[in-house]
Chain A
């Protein structure tokens, strides 16, 4: 089983739609969780840290479920500019970041 697993997609949604991604992790000792966004041929950029209590930033909501070992990202009212690859990053007990392969989102008019 991979340490961090994501559905590669692509998720193809119309503008204005709500879309959700999940990411599962295998190391129960994981301490920190993040969602990064990566545009084509660009570097990853932090979208959100994921806190135990869940957190929201505008149209984006992140949740952590430690019991089932997954994190989620919900995007409401999708915009064309949200089209990108969303990377799940988990810091295990050794604090080495482990990346998922990413989930591709395509928002169309």
Chain B
């Protein structure tokens, strides 16, 4: 069974540019989560999809971040325009159930904004 995949693995962009991150969850997993880890800090929740619906987006930093999951399969996270403080590792995770269940993480996208 294929795991969670993320693309790209690394991205270096200049402040003000746009970047789109993609996450393909494990097939059949309705729940998809985005997280971010800023250097030296803990992993922080960004948002949670159940199928194509946003269940909780309370962790999204501001309106420069837009997440979508059209069709309830893969998800994209767009940052527009990127700022220096957006640098970090963005993880995606998926799970077959919402509560009390293991989440399977992707390898992450390392974003550097210069």
Contact = CB atoms under 8 A, between A and B. Distances in A.
Interface of A: 4, 31-32, 34, 42-46, 49, 87, 91, 94-102
Contact of A42 (B56, B103, B107): B107
Given A43-B107, A44-B105, A45-B105, A96 B56 contact: yes
Interface in B20-56: 33, 35, 41-45, 48, 56
Query: Chain B contact residues (Cβ within 8 angstroms of A): what range?
Result: 20 to 34
Contacts of A95: 98-99
Nearest to A48: B102
Given A4-B42, A31-B100, A46-B104, 17 more contacts: A32-B99, A34-B102, A43-B106, A43-B108, A44-B43, A45-B105, A49-B102, A87-B43, A94-B56, A95-B99, A96-B48, A96-B56, A97-B45, A99-B44, A100-B42, A101-B41, A102-B42
Given A46-B102, A91-B99, A99 B43 contact: yes
14 contacts: A4-B42, A31-B100, A32-B100, A42-B107, A43-B91, A44-B43, A44-B91, A46-B102, A91-B99, A96-B58, A96-B59, A98-B45, A99-B35, A101-B41
Interface of B: 33, 35, 41-45, 48, 56, 58-59, 91, 98-100, 102-108
Closest 9 CB pairs of A and B: A43-B105, A32-B100, A99-B43, A101-B42, A46-B102, A99-B42, A95-B99, A44-B105, A96-B45
A107 B82 CA distance: 39
Contact of A31 (B56, B59, B99, B102): B99
